[in-house]
Amino acid sequence: MNQDIGRAMGNIVSIDSDGGSVTIDHGPFEGIGMGAMTMNFALMGEADLVGFSEGDRVSFEVKRGRDGSYRIMNICNADESDTDCFAD
């Protein structure tokens, strides 16, 4: 991964009513050097929150935009064993 793209796991805290952003309590990111925290992320591209609910354990990838903010480009549910759903 390059320095503009990172991956982390976390728990969905809330989903905005329009479905365009989500607040996630996440662990440290691989790839971008961001530590663990709770923050809101907008979505980009084909990413959507259909089928996700508050409390879901997720793995997600973000990409830094020209404005410096990170947006979710991919998100998926992690299973009960906390396995990264993007792992091959």
The answer to whether the beta carbons of residues 37 and 53 sit under 8 Å apart is: no
Least confident residue range of 18-27, 52-61, 79-88 = 79-88
Query: What is 5-77's CATH topology?
Result: OB fold (Dihydrolipoamide Acetyltransferase, E2P) (2.40.50)
Mean pLDDT, range 14-41, rounded to an integer: 93
Proportion of the chain above pLDDT 90, given as a percent: 62
The model's pTM is 0.87
Higher pLDDT, 80 or 13: 13
- Residues near 33 by beta carbon (within 8 Å), at least 6 away in sequence: 3, 6
pLDDT of res. 1: 47
Inform me whether the pLDDT recorded for 13 exceeds 50.
Answer: yes
